Chain A
Amino acid sequence: MACAVSTEFELDAAWRLAPQVQLRPERFGALLYHFGTRQLSFLKSPALRAVVSSLAAQPSARAACRAADVPDAELPSYRRALATLAAAQMICRREAA
Chain B
Amino acid sequence: MTAAPVSTGALPLVEQFSYGLAAPICLTWELTYACNLSCVHCLSSSGRRDPRELSTAECQAVIDELQRMQVFYVNIGGGEPTVRPDFWDLLDYATGHDVGVKFSTNGVKITPGIARRLAGHDYVDVQISLDGATAEVNDAVRGPGSYAVALRAMQRLADAGFAGFKISVVMTRHNVGQLDELQVLADRFGAQLRLTRLRPSGRGADVWDQLHLTAGQQRQLYDWLVAHGSSVLTGDSFFHLSGYGAALPGLNLCGAGRVVCLIDPVGDVYACPFAIHPSFLAGNVRDPGGFAQVWQESELFAGLRRPQSGGACESCAAYGACRGGCMAAKFFTGLPLDGPDPECVRGHGEHALAAADPAAAPRPVGDHSHRTRRGPVPLTLGTRPSERSQPPVSACNVDPLAGFAPPGR
Bound CA–CA A40/B122 (angstroms): 16
Contact A35 B7, beta carbon cutoff 8 Å: no
Given contacts A39-B2, A45-B8, A78-B8, contact A27 B72 (CB under 8 A): no
Give the chain A neighbours of B123 by CB distance below 8 A.
35
Q: Is B4 an interface residue (CB 8 A)?
A: yes
Whole-angstrom distance from the CB of A55 to the nearest CB of chain B?
14
The interface bits of chain B over 55-95 (1 if a CB of A lies within 8 angstroms of the residue's CB, else 0) are: 00000000000000010110000000000000000000000
Q: Which of A56-89 contact B (CB under 8 A)?
A: 74, 77-78, 81, 84-85, 88
Q: Is A7 an interface residue (CB 8 A)?
A: no
Contact B72 A44, beta carbon cutoff 8 Å: no
Contact B3 A40, beta carbon cutoff 8 Å: yes
Contact B100 A28, beta carbon cutoff 8 Å: no
Contact B21 A40, beta carbon cutoff 8 Å: no
The interface bits of chain B over 17-38 (1 if a CB of A lies within 8 angstroms of the residue's CB, else 0) are: 0010111010000000000000
Whole-angstrom distance from the CB of A29 to the nearest CB of chain B?
7
Contact B22 A25, beta carbon cutoff 8 Å: yes
Whole-angstrom distance from the CB of A18 to the nearest CB of chain B?
14
Contact A40 B6, beta carbon cutoff 8 Å: no
**Chain B, residue nearest A78 (CB):** B8
Contact A42 B4, beta carbon cutoff 8 Å: yes
Contact A81 B7, beta carbon cutoff 8 Å: yes
Q: Is B316 an interface residue (CB 8 A)?
A: no
Bound CA–CA A81/B9 (angstroms): 10
Contact B6 A48, beta carbon cutoff 8 Å: yes
Q: Is B406 an interface residue (CB 8 A)?
A: no
- A74 interface neighbour in B8, B11, B125, Cβ under 8 Å: B8
Contact A24 B70, beta carbon cutoff 8 Å: yes
Give the chain A neighbours of B22 by CB distance below 8 A.
24-27
Q: Is B13 an interface residue (CB 8 A)?
A: yes
Bound CA–CA A88/B3 (angstroms): 11
Chain A interface size, as a band, is: 20 to 34
Contact B19 A77, beta carbon cutoff 8 Å: no
Give the chain B neighbours of A27 by CB distance below 8 A.
16, 19, 21-22
Given contacts A44-B10, A74-B8, A77-B9, contact A26 B21 (CB under 8 A): yes
Contact B100 A40, beta carbon cutoff 8 Å: no
Bound CA–CA A59/B147 (angstroms): 57
Given contacts A22-B70, A25-B22, contact A41 B4 (CB under 8 A): yes
- B23 interface neighbour in A24, A36, A41, Cβ under 8 Å: A24
Known: A48-B8, A85-B6. 8 other contacts (CB 8 A): A26-B22, A27-B16, A28-B11, A33-B73, A35-B72, A35-B100, A44-B8, A45-B8
Bound CA–CA A12/B22 (angstroms): 33
Q: Is B98 an interface residue (CB 8 A)?
A: yes
**Chain B, residue nearest A51 (CB):** B8
Bound CA–CA A88/B13 (angstroms): 19
Q: 20 interchain pairs (CB within 8 A)?
A: A24-B72, A26-B16, A27-B21, A28-B11, A28-B16, A29-B10, A36-B122, A38-B73, A38-B125, A40-B72, A41-B4, A41-B6, A42-B5, A42-B13, A47-B8, A48-B6, A74-B8, A78-B8, A81-B6, A81-B7
Q: Is B1 an interface residue (CB 8 A)?
A: yes
The interface bits of chain B over 125-164 (1 if a CB of A lies within 8 angstroms of the residue's CB, else 0) are: 1000000000000000000000000000000000000000
Bound CA–CA A38/B1 (angstroms): 8
**Chain B, residue nearest A77 (CB):** B8
**Chain A, residue nearest B72 (CB):** A33
The interface bits of chain A over 1-30 (1 if a CB of B lies within 8 angstroms of the residue's CB, else 0) are: 000000000000000000000101111110
Give the chain B neighbours of A44 by CB distance below 8 A.
5-11, 13, 16
Bound CA–CA A89/B21 (angstroms): 24
Give the chain B neighbours of A31 by CB distance below 8 A.
21, 25, 70
Whole-angstrom distance from the CB of A68 to the nearest CB of chain B?
11
Whole-angstrom distance from the CB of B191 to the nearest CB of chain A?
15
